[in-house]
Structure 1
Amino acid sequence: MTVIYRKDRKVLKRVDYGAAKNSLMGVLAALLVYALVTAWGGVYRAHELETLIAGGAVVLVTAFRLWLIARFDALYGAGPARWRKLFGAGLILHALVWGVMPVWLLWRTGAGFNFFVVILYNVGVTTALGSSWMAGLRVRQLYIVLMFVPILLGLFFYGGVKEWLLVVLVGAYTFYLFRLYRGQYELFWHAVTRERRGEQHERRRDQHAGTDIQLSLVYRLAHELRTPMNSVMGMMSLLEETKLSDEQREYMQAAGQSGKLMLALIDDVLDYSRILTGRIVLSPDYFDLRGTLEQALEAFGPMAQSKGLELSAMIDRMLPRRVRGDRDRFMQVLTNLLSNAVKFSDKGEIRLDVDFTEESDSEGVLRVRVSDQGRGMDTDTLRTLFQDHFLDGAQDAFAAKHIGFGLLVCKGLTEAMGGSIGAESVEGEGATFWFTVRLGMQSDMNEPQKLLSAMDGLQALVVGSAGGALAGLQEEFEALGCQCQGAHDYDHALQALRAGQREQSEFHLLLVDTRERQELALNLCHNVLVDPALRPVKLILMCTIEERAQPAIQRLVERHGLVVLVKPVHRSVLRGALERLLGVPRAMPVRDLPLENAEALERRRHFRLLLVEDNEVNQLVTKGMLAKLGYQVKTFSNAPAALSLLQRETYDLVLMDCMLPGMDGFEATRVMRESERQEGRARTPIIAITANTAEGVQARCLAAGMDDFLAKPVHLEEMETVLRRWLPLGSASDNHEEGEGE
């Protein structure tokens, strides 16, 4: 069985240089031996021409090998493999000359002095080669064959007992050298492999330890950054509820946006650290895929419109309704790509294309493309777009055209979700980013039958929309069994409507987009609404969120009941509008009853909350949030004092910071749970509040006995949701009534 050894260039270079250096003595010795044989041995006088020919061969081979030695650095630097081939060729030529020479001498002078001198040289030079070029095996074995097989054949056919005895001796030595070379070769590579394995093991161990230290530093840095960010964001949320001038509100919104970007950067740093260390964790669950895509469109639609961009979507109508995957991670990749498209585009359309390919009854591949008509990228930037120049060892990573953590995180997340990510671009013509992810699915393609029946046989006309938006609308109408086509401009649309009335091929639905000319779009709507002949046409106006509040549109809504949809228009809002226009009854989801009324706030005041937080600013922020929600709270800056109070008084809930001086929140919770168990007291809910978002922290909180988890910076909505979960208003009412009875 052939063993393949991993080669190290540095080791091989040292071995090759040693072989070249050691061969110098053998090459010079060859000249000396030849001179001794031909001159002192008298061969030259008896066979002058043959001696000159043999001498010429010896000189040429010697000169070639000396040239290889003298030019080692230049030749080896140009190509190590080429130098080895040349060095091996020199050895083969040397073996050919000195393997044939003893046969020639045996033929011309017999088995005398000259013959034995050459035999001794051959034995010496082959023995020396055994320890000088152990990295090469085949060339050295061929070298032995060419050196001794001609001698063995010559002695065998020369005849005689002495010659046959020499055959046995030389043959045995040849076989010994064959085994010696093989053993030295294997011993050499085993030693090199063992050394490299030891070095690699040490490197891996050091690298693993260094990675753990770096990751720990990243988590600690993120924790330290989140703590003051909690104070900043919390104070700004409280400030937002105060009376501010328009100028102050603009400043505060700008600062709030910067704060959100800072938090997003912290999260990207943490995610990228997890990806580099292979610790990214996914939380797969079933979710509404189309609803998720529509949520992203609604979030980025106003951002695109504020820059004069059109955001449209072409979503496969056969998309499964519910898929199984990590919704948050999927949204993180999608929103990053949409955000970049808006950021780097100044004109044109941003288009989202989504399609799904089933690979089995329960799994498929989702493909998402985000295309823009922005600046585009050059070839060099595109080639290194998803490479981290810091990890590549660039001499000046900051000077390189590198992107932030966003796309690097997207690459790691898509690969973790079983997919890939890439980009296509032409400089000056825009870019297309795409990614794929593997998702489980629930195969449910049923469309709402009532709407399908109402849409059967209808025809729709769309005017003013961009190409991507028109394609998306046509896809949606086709899913409902309705024909849809686009009009060239607003005048042609009106002409098509009137021609349809005359020719009994009327359009039943008209969708007007304000993208090209708002005045012409509104004029078309007015003409359709006031024309008695066109009264059967159902009209939908599509506009931006800023246009929706304009007086001209408001008048059409108030006077004629015009249905207005804010772009980008997606399936949910489109179908809702169609159901209203066609009189299709729609089952409305049950909504939570509003809790922000005076009675709810009054009932919340009967809860007693305890906050354990060492940071004074965070104390102030959290107290402000709780007061806004209607809760009463008492604060402590250390765990022992809070535990002492809990021994004497009863509280409905405890908000516990995990990183406290002295006794931390985990230990304090364990002590409190043990005290409750020993004394038989009711369990008090404890909510962890921490800026540490590393994997396992939430599980550690629950293992310590905490009931829920809030990550800093804490947002008002998240706090309200958690408190409502553990402090239902009914319990406040019961406690209050019991207190009054006592």
Structure 2
Amino acid sequence: MEESAEELYDTAPCGHVSTRPDGTLVKLNQTFLTWTGYPREELLSGRRFQELLTVGCQIFYETYYVPLLRMQGFANEINLELKHKDGHSLSFLLNAIQKKDANGRPLSNQIALFHLVDRKKYERELLLARKKAEEAIKIKTDFVSMISHEIRTPLNAIIGISNLLRDTHLSPQQEEYARILSFSSGSLLNLINNILDFNKMDAGKVTLEERSFDVRQLIYDTVYGLGLQAEEKNLALRLELDERVPAYVVGDPLKLGQILTNLLSNAIKFTEKGAITVELRLGELFSDSAALEFRVTDTGIGIARDRLPRIFEEFTQASYDINLKYGGTGLGLTISQKLLELYGTRMDVESEPGRGSCFSFRLRLGIGQEARESERTAETVPNEQSLQGRRVLVAEDNEVNVFVLTRFLRKWNIDFDVVGNGRRALERITERDYDLVLMDLQMPELDGFEATRLIRNLPSERLNRLPIIALSASARISLGDRLVSAGFTDFIGKPFRPEELFTKITLYGFQPSPATAANRSEEERDQRQGVDPARSPPGFSLEKFRRLTADDRQALVELSAITIKSYEAYKHEFQEALETGNLEKFDFHAHKIKVTLELMQAHALKAALQQGKKLLAEKERAPDRIHAVLHTIQCELDAMIRALEEVRKE
């Protein structure tokens, strides 16, 4: 064993030297001898370590190294140059420890030397390996992004056409085919989105935002958005919100919404009967933050105990049979877990086969305030007439995409023009007034980025405020700051959902122009001539309103009367706030009416109120734009009042 230890010492990859306190060499290994070219006998014949140093390093040794070693008993990472036997110098990093007796007197110095040539070689190799790994990740990321873009382009046509097809008169068999087509294309889109999300996380490109948002509203929107899927399976969807939870918290609502959507989607997918419960509870309340617990519980198929540790691994599902029956990538939980890791927490799961599962996680989020301008847009059911008279420019070179887009625009009675490149879009915008532009990013001659940048640089206040929505099959996060720097108002990914397209046009399509002014003038002329200027069916529903009263006729009449009275008051309050420019008053009443709007699913009015808050928050308020928003708010409230009056007469 002693021979083995001595052999290890002698052939170590670093030089080992032992000296007396005065520097006299008493022991050294073969590695040091090989580096310096000296025979062992020569160095052990009374030579001192400092004699092997260059002149400058000898001075450093006496004035710095020896006092440091004596004072603290060790010295690390000291850069010294030693003379080779043939005269040339060698660079080393020195680490030394001084051994002392019981009285503190120095006994010996143990020195380890690292050849900087070898070290730099190792560092270069390490940097090269890291560079190759980063290049490999970039190649993989770019490849996935490119493939997803190429898949999204034809998928946009498939989903768009299937949506249009389902709106036509079909036989029962054709309706089933169209439903399967729509479901399968939606599943493929979800697969692409999951792979993109996982790819971005794997590349470390996902970060958390920090902004104030309404956490209760976020949960409500998530449950409401997936409610139809639960209804199709006759599943009860329950929501339990702790009233002690602060209304507004600071965090990333998009990431949190993605986690909740993944959990709720899985619960619906793997539950055939029973109920799904979404809970939000307050763990502990601090002066500036709140510890929140989120839980999604189902009565589904459950997960075997031995499979629980693996369900958060990528591309993993509870069993092969489940994959065959339910499909999916097995990435949803992995993505959710990685998102939670950004917050420094993890997801817990409790499950029992045949009895259901419970997924939960805890977050500590700062307490926020209501944002002056909500970035969240409501999910809106497309209405064929609610955007009538709006004028939209479509800049898109793909004929199939143009076909899908224009069919929806025509369905919603929107006046539109189509151009095939950014240069034509630039020319058309200067020739005609538009309320909104849908701009594809990849076009010949002049792409969407450059076209938008040129539009924003034109000396026109109208064009500077013109809403321009980017259209792209690329993921939004991969476009980064290019969208903002180019001057885009918002983004719609392809394939788009009709509801999303309708919502964005509703939200941003209040830009006043001669087109909207002309419509307003025609409406006023019709009123003078006795023509009924009734607007299109409004974007709201009385279904939840009726369900709230549980078929109690008297309660329904009383609730309708109360709501009508409050809506009449809101008409006056919103008008006064908009005309006087009182943002605080407008914001206050917009918050008060929020619960009632959710009850009536009044998405069109919610979008108008969001736009009103945005206009009032601007330093330079445009009276014509404010008038357009006020007109929409009044019309939507009047429409709901008329509907509630009919309810009272039933």
Kept in 2: contact 1:312–1:352 (CA 8 A) = yes
Bigger radius of gyration among the two = 1
Q: Distance in 1 between matches of 2:175 and 2:127?
A: 58
Instruction: Give the aligned partner of residue 661 of structure 1.
Output: 444
Deviations 1:526-545 (A, max 9, x none): xxxxxxxxxxxxxxxxxxxx
Instruction: Please point out which of 270, 274, 290 is paired with 2:196.
Output: 270
Shift of 1:624: 1.0
Shift of 1:617: 0.5
Q: Distance in 1 between matches of 2:401 and 2:203?
A: 32
Q: Distance in 2 between matches of 1:630 and 1:624?
A: 10
Q: Distance in 2 between matches of 1:610 and 1:360?
A: 51
Deviations 1:167-187 (A, max 9, x none): xx98959999xx999999733
Kept in 1: contact 2:395–2:420 (CA 8 A) = yes
Kept in 2: contact 1:346–1:374 (CA 8 A) = yes
Counting only pairs closer than 5 Å after superposition, residues 474-493 of structure 1 correspond to structure 2 as: none
Give the residue type in structure 1 aligned to 2:450.
E
Q: Distance in 2 between matches of 1:242 and 1:708?
A: 31
Q: Distance in 1 between matches of 2:328 and 2:401?
A: 36
Give the residue type in structure 2 aligned to 1:660.
M
Q: Distance in 1 between matches of 2:223 and 2:433?
A: 48
Shift of 1:205: 1.6
Instruction: Please point out which of 715, 724, 729 is paired with 2:497.
Output: 715
- CA-atom RMSD, angstroms? 4.7
Instruction: Give the aligned partner of residue 295 of structure 2.
Output: 369
Kept in 2: contact 1:612–1:655 (CA 8 A) = yes
Kept in 2: contact 1:614–1:638 (CA 8 A) = yes
Query: Cα gap change, 1:245/1:380 in structure 2, threshold over 3 Å: closer, same or farther?
Result: same
Instruction: Please point out which of 118, 128, 149 is paired with 1:202.
Output: 128
Kept in 2: contact 1:611–1:634 (CA 8 A) = yes
Structure with the larger helix share: 1
Shift of 1:219: 2.2
Instruction: Please point out which of 729, 734, 741 is paired with 2:517.
Output: 734
Q: Distance in 1 between matches of 2:294 and 2:519?
A: 54
Structure with the larger strand share: 2
Alignment of 1:335 with 2:261, yes or no, is yes
Query: Cα gap change, 1:189/1:261 in structure 2, threshold over 3 Å: closer, same or farther?
Result: farther
Please state whether the residue corresponding to 1:333 is helix, strand or coil.
helix
Instruction: Please point out which of 393, 417, 437 is paired with 1:634.
Output: 417
Please state whether the residue corresponding to 1:623 is helix, strand or coil.
helix
Kept in 2: contact 1:419–1:436 (CA 8 A) = yes
Kept in 1: contact 2:15–2:113 (CA 8 A) = no
Query: Cα gap change, 1:314/1:640 in structure 2, threshold over 3 Å: closer, same or farther?
Result: closer
Give the residue type in structure 1 aligned to 2:123.
R
Query: Cα gap change, 1:438/1:253 in structure 2, threshold over 3 Å: closer, same or farther?
Result: farther
* Identity value in percent: 32
Query: Cα gap change, 1:186/1:403 in structure 2, threshold over 3 Å: closer, same or farther?
Result: farther
Alignment of 1:701 with 2:483, yes or no, is yes
Counting only pairs closer than 5 Å after superposition, residues 499-518 of structure 1 correspond to structure 2 as: none
Please state whether the residue corresponding to 2:477 is helix, strand or coil.
coil
Query: Cα gap change, 1:737/1:365 in structure 2, threshold over 3 Å: closer, same or farther?
Result: closer
Q: Distance in 1 between matches of 2:301 and 2:480?
A: 43
Shift of 1:280: 1.0
Instruction: Please point out which of 397, 400, 403 is paired with 1:620.
Output: 403
Alignment of 1:356 with 2:285, yes or no, is no
Alignment of 1:433 with 2:312, yes or no, is no
Please state whether the residue corresponding to 2:366 is helix, strand or coil.
strand
Instruction: Give the aligned partner of residue 691 of structure 1.
Output: 473
Shift of 1:410: 0.4
Shift of 1:647: 5.8
Q: Distance in 1 between matches of 2:461 and 2:511?
A: 25
Give the residue type in structure 1 aligned to 2:244.
M
Kept in 2: contact 1:140–1:181 (CA 8 A) = no
Query: Cα gap change, 1:602/1:289 in structure 2, threshold over 3 Å: closer, same or farther?
Result: closer
Alignment of 1:244 with 2:170, yes or no, is yes
Give the residue type in structure 2 aligned to 1:281.
T
Counting only pairs closer than 5 Å after superposition, residues 672-683 of structure 1 correspond to structure 2 as: 672-674=455-457, 676-677=458-459, 683=464
Q: Distance in 2 between matches of 1:635 and 1:186?
A: 75
Instruction: Give the aligned partner of residue 330 of structure 2.
Output: 404
Query: Cα gap change, 1:197/1:424 in structure 2, threshold over 3 Å: closer, same or farther?
Result: farther
Shift of 1:648: 5.4
Kept in 1: contact 2:19–2:110 (CA 8 A) = no
Shift of 1:431: 3.5
Q: Distance in 2 between matches of 1:265 and 1:357?
A: 35
Query: Cα gap change, 1:290/1:669 in structure 2, threshold over 3 Å: closer, same or farther?
Result: closer
| Uncovered stretches (5+) of structure 2, i.e. residues with no partner | 21-25, 28-42, 51-93, 98-108, 317-323, 371-377, 524-650
| Uncovered stretches (5+) of structure 1, i.e. residues with no partner | 1-86, 93-125, 142-146, 149-168, 391-397, 445-590
Query: Cα gap change, 1:699/1:712 in structure 2, threshold over 3 Å: closer, same or farther?
Result: same
Give the residue type in structure 2 aligned to 1:718.
E
Kept in 1: contact 2:301–2:355 (CA 8 A) = yes
Q: Structure 1 stretch 208-217 or stretch 287-296: which is displaced more?
A: 287-296
Q: Distance in 2 between matches of 1:594 and 1:405?
A: 29
Q: Distance in 2 between matches of 1:235 and 1:265?
A: 20
Kept in 1: contact 2:246–2:367 (CA 8 A) = yes
Give the residue type in structure 2 aligned to 1:686.
I
Q: Distance in 2 between matches of 1:686 and 1:205?
A: 39
Alignment of 1:132 with 2:8, yes or no, is no
Shift of 1:439: 1.6
Give the residue type in structure 2 aligned to 1:722.
K
Deviations 1:703-734 (A, max 9, x none): 22444433222333333333344543864342
Query: Cα gap change, 1:733/1:673 in structure 2, threshold over 3 Å: closer, same or farther?
Result: closer
Q: Structure 1 stretch 182-191 or stretch 635-644: which is displaced more?
A: 182-191
Give the residue type in structure 2 aligned to 1:665.
G
Shift of 1:199: 2.3
Give the residue type in structure 1 aligned to 2:447.
D
Give the residue type in structure 2 aligned to 1:278.
G
Please state whether the residue corresponding to 1:187 is helix, strand or coil.
strand
Kept in 2: contact 1:285–1:325 (CA 8 A) = yes
Shift of 1:318: 2.5
Alignment of 1:415 with 2:312, yes or no, is no
Instruction: Give the aligned partner of residue 670 of structure 1.
Output: 453
Query: Cα gap change, 1:297/1:717 in structure 2, threshold over 3 Å: closer, same or farther?
Result: closer
TM, length-normalised to structure 2: 0.56
Q: Structure 1 stretch 644-653 or stretch 697-706: which is displaced more?
A: 644-653
Counting only pairs closer than 5 Å after superposition, residues 55-204 of structure 1 correspond to structure 2 as: 87-88=1-2, 90=3, 131-133=10-12, 186-188=112-114, 194-204=120-130
Deviations 1:419-450 (A, max 9, x none): 21233445555443222223222599xxxxxx
Q: Distance in 1 between matches of 2:462 and 2:234?
A: 62
Please state whether the residue corresponding to 1:318 is helix, strand or coil.
coil
Deviations 1:646-696 (A, max 9, x none): 56555554332110124212223334455x33x999655533222222426
Kept in 1: contact 2:95–2:112 (CA 8 A) = no
Query: Cα gap change, 1:323/1:243 in structure 2, threshold over 3 Å: closer, same or farther?
Result: same
Instruction: Give the aligned partner of residue 490 of structure 1.
Output: none
Give the residue type in structure 1 aligned to 2:11.
S
Query: Cα gap change, 1:685/1:432 in structure 2, threshold over 3 Å: closer, same or farther?
Result: closer
Query: Cα gap change, 1:728/1:192 in structure 2, threshold over 3 Å: closer, same or farther?
Result: same
Instruction: Give the aligned partner of residue 235 of structure 1.
Output: 161
Q: Distance in 1 between matches of 2:382 and 2:152?
A: 30
Query: Cα gap change, 1:140/1:215 in structure 2, threshold over 3 Å: closer, same or farther?
Result: farther
Please state whether the residue corresponding to 2:112 is helix, strand or coil.
helix
Q: Distance in 1 between matches of 2:119 and 2:328?
A: 37
Shift of 1:618: 0.5
Kept in 1: contact 2:388–2:412 (CA 8 A) = no
Give the residue type in structure 2 aligned to 1:715.
R
Please state whether the residue corresponding to 1:186 is helix, strand or coil.
strand
